């Protein structure tokens, strides 16, 4: 049987899947939702593995190489689970989902790639597509209050909604926010008041708010929020440049479900005025995972990337060297 590649893009709200032949021909694409609107609890790792196995059943007789962009708590258990179900898994590589989005472009090298979905992450690729610099979670998540990610969009919208509700202001955007959460005004107000970080709000309720940012991008207060986000995105880009000192301005690759055409065009126009070349990554990121690793099989990845094979008893690091740098937080300039 011919060898097949399986790409997986595992995010907060969904997992994308793609199966391709060695020549790149796609045989299957699928999307697995992690949340049910009626159940606030996400799918378990065991449940996700079961659904992935169901999609892969037609390819059970083929040797498989798996490329997963995202987080797996125990990659070896995932590997053994599929093998135990009768799949001929040759290797499992696990790495940051940023590579999935970069893999949907021409992968030009000398590029800062920012992947934005429910949460975001960022990497710098040198001219040979080695990862030599990455942004720490603290640099991104703790100090970028206007970042392009679903949870930040939701926090902003709900904080604004609560203020409008207290003032008795009735606006179309406020009505849409309330309708999308599916809660009563009193319940939503209390939830946001008690936990403005939304840790206690069911993810399906805040995930539904993301599209409102694109729909109201040219209206206040969303327009000002987006302008601040673009400014912080430029600052993050500048921090990468200061760290790696490239010989020419790197590409800024923006990928992820958060980037609607309207948001991308807005960011591209603003960043172009600062001399930053911007590229939009579009398509199924699971396919991008395959393209990235098949095109760059030996490049160095981030420190937490791993590889499991049939002959190994535990995960091994994937082509890791000591050249990587970390973009550290700069609280003063990001505030």
pLDDT in tens, 254-302: 998 889 999 999 999 999 999 999 999 999 999 999 999 999 999 999 9
Q: What is the pLDDT of residue 36?
A: 77
Given a cut of 50, whether residue 320 has pLDDT beyond it is no
Sheet with 111-116, strands from edge to edge, namely 278-281, 251-255, 111-116, 120-125, 131-135, 325-327
The enclosing H or E element of 50 equals helix 45-56
The enclosing H or E element of 124 equals strand 120-125
Given a cut of 80, whether residue 13 has pLDDT beyond it is yes
- Phi, psi at 227, each rounded to 5°: -60, -40
Q: What is the pLDDT of residue 42?
A: 83
Q: Length of the chain in residues, anyone?
A: 335
| Window from 33-42, 123-132, 323-332 with minimum mean pLDDT | 323-332
Query: CA-CA distance, 141 to 121, in Å (whole number)?
Result: 9
Q: What residue spans in the chain does CATH classification 3.30.420.40 cover?
A: 106-282+322-335
Mean pLDDT for 89-107 is 96
Q: What residue spans in the chain does CATH classification 3.30.420.140 cover?
A: 4-100+287-297
Query: CA-CA distance, 185 to 161, in Å (whole number)?
Result: 10
Mean pLDDT for 47-60 is 96
Q: In CATH, which of 3.30.2130.10, 3.30.420.40, 3.30.1490.20, 3.30.530.20 is domain 106-282+322-335?
A: 3.30.420.40
Task: Give the CA-trace dihedral at 182, 150, 48, 5, to 10 degrees.
Answer: 140
Average pLDDT score over the chain: 89
Contact of 173 with 117, CB cutoff 8 Å: no
More confident residue, 170 or 160: 160
Q: What is the pLDDT of residue 137?
A: 56
* Model confidence pLDDT, tens digit, residues 148-166: 888 889 999 999 999 999 9
Number of H helices, E strands in the chain: 13, 13
* Model confidence pLDDT, tens digit, residues 99-155: 999 999 999 999 999 987 656 788 999 999 999 988 865 555 555 566 788 888 999
CATH fold for the domain made of 4-100+287-297: Nucleotidyltransferase; domain 5 (3.30.420)
Cis link prior to 118 (omega < 30° from 0)?
no
More confident residue, 325 or 242: 242
Model confidence at 12, pLDDT cuts 50, 70, 90, reads: confident
């Amino acid at each position: 049987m011919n060898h097949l590649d399986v790409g997986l893009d595992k995010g907060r709200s969904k997992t994308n899947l793609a199966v391709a032949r060695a020549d790149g021909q796609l045989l299957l694409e699928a999307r697995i939702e992690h949340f049910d609107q009626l159940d606030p609890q996400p799918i378990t790792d065991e449940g996700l593995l079961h659904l992935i196995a169901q999609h892969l059943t037609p390819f059970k007789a083929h040797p498989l190489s798996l490329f997963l962009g995202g987080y797996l708590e125990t990659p070896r258990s995932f590997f053994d689970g599929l093998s135990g179900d009768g799949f001929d898994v040759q290797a499992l590589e696990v790495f940051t989902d940023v590579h999935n989005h970069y893999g949907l472009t021409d992968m030009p090298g000398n590029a800062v790639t920012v992947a934005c979905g429910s949460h975001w992450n960022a990497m710098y690729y040198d001219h040979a597509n080695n990862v030599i610099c990455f942004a720490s979670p603290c640099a991104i998540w703790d100090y970028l209050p206007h970042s392009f990610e679903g949870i930040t969009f939701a926090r902003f919208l709900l904080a604004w909604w609560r203020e409008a509700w207290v003032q008795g202001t009735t606006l179309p955007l406020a009505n849409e926010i309330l309708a999308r959460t599916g809660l009563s005004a009193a319940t939503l107000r209390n939830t946001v008041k008690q936990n403005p970080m939304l840790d206690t709000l069911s993810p399906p309720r805040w995930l539904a708010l993301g599209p409102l940012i694109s729909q109201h991008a040219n209206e206040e207060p969303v327009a000002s929020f987006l302008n601040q986000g673009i400014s912080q995105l430029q600052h993050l880009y500048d921090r990468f440049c200061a760290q790696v000192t490239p010989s020419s301005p790197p590409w800024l690759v923006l990928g992820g479900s958060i980037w609607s055409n309207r948001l991308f065009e807005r960011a591209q126009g603003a960043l172009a005025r600062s001399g930053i070349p911007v590229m939009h990554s579009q398509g199924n990121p699971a396919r991008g995972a395959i393209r990235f690793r098949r095109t760059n099989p030996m490049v160095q990845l981030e420190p937490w990337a791993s590889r499991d094979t049939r002959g190994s008893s535990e995960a091994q690091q994937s082509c890791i060297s000591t050249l990587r740098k970390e973009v550290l937080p700069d609280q003063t300039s990001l505030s």
